């Protein structure tokens, strides 16, 4: 899904939080989460943009991002991105994922 606004495709825009935006290859990566209103669980979200204007939400289940309550930071180097998040539940141990630049 391409859009000029942030979107999760299932949650209203006022329940989304963008926590970090950074360079990723020749484009940008953004991390965030849903706020979990109306009894829904919070969930980590990742968006990619080639131009900083149109953003595409990246799939989360295949990458395990759906196990995070929120994604907080990203480091990018040599075509790889490492994402850091906090898990759903009471665990204090952070979660990390590595992804290739699209």
What digits encode the pLDDT tens for the residues 44-95? 788 889 998 888 888 766 666 667 777 888 888 887 888 888 887 766 778 8
Residue 78 CB neighbours (<10 A): 5
CA 30, 69, 8 angle in degrees (round to 5)? 50
**Which residue carries 């075509």 as its tokens?**
79
pTM of the model: 0.73
Indicate the domain borders of the chain.
Answer: 2-100
What digits encode the pLDDT tens for the residues 15-41? 788 888 888 888 998 888 877 766 666
CA pair distance 42, 15, nearest whole angstrom = 10
């Amino acid at each position: 899904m391409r859009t000029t606004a942030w979107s999760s495709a299932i949650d209203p825009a006022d329940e989304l939080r963008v926590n970090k935006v950074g360079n990723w290859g020749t484009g940008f990566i953004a991390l965030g989460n849903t706020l979990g209103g109306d009894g829904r669980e919070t969930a980590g979200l990742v968006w990619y943009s080639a131009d900083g204007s149109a953003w595409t939400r990246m799939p989360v289940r295949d990458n395990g991002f759906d196990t995070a309550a929120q994604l907080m930071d990203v480091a990018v180097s040599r075509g790889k991105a490492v994402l850091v998040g906090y898990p759903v539940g009471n665990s204090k141990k952070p979660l990390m994922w590595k992804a290739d630049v699209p």
